Amino acid sequence: MSTSVSITELGDGVEEAVLATWLCAVGDSVAAGEPIAEVMTDKVNLEIGAPVAGVVTALHGEPEDTVRIGQVIAEIGDPA
């Protein structure tokens, strides 16, 4: 089973952000809550955490890509 990681609310009126950097790679094991990406808005930089523990199976997007609220940026599969 795979869990999608999406961009959640970033603040009042914020509808998009820029993907600053990935903090993991495909194949990496991550713990629930562990930061996997960093995004930037006009006002703040935020880390996006893994919603579940598992193995990163896909990363959607490259640094400097614009991402919108609700957009899926990664997939995490069951732990190995």
Domains for the chain: give ranges and CATH numbers.
2-77 (2.40.50.100)
The predicted model gives 24-43 an average pLDDT of: 95
> What does the alpha-carbon distance between residue 58 and residue 2 come to, in Å, rounded to a whole number?
10
The whole-model pTM stands at 0.90
Quick one: pLDDT band at residue 80, thresholds 50, 70, 90?
low
> What does the alpha-carbon distance between residue 4 and residue 75 come to, in Å, rounded to a whole number?
5
What are the strands of the beta sheet with 54-59, ordered from one edge? 2-6, 72-77, 54-59, 29-30
Are 21 and 38 contacting, i.e. CB atoms less than 8 angstroms apart?
yes
The predicted model gives 22-49 an average pLDDT of: 95
Mind listing the pLDDT tens digit for each residue in 37-59? 999 998 889 999 999 999 999 99
Residues in the chain: 80
Residue, of 75 and 14, whose pLDDT is higher: 75
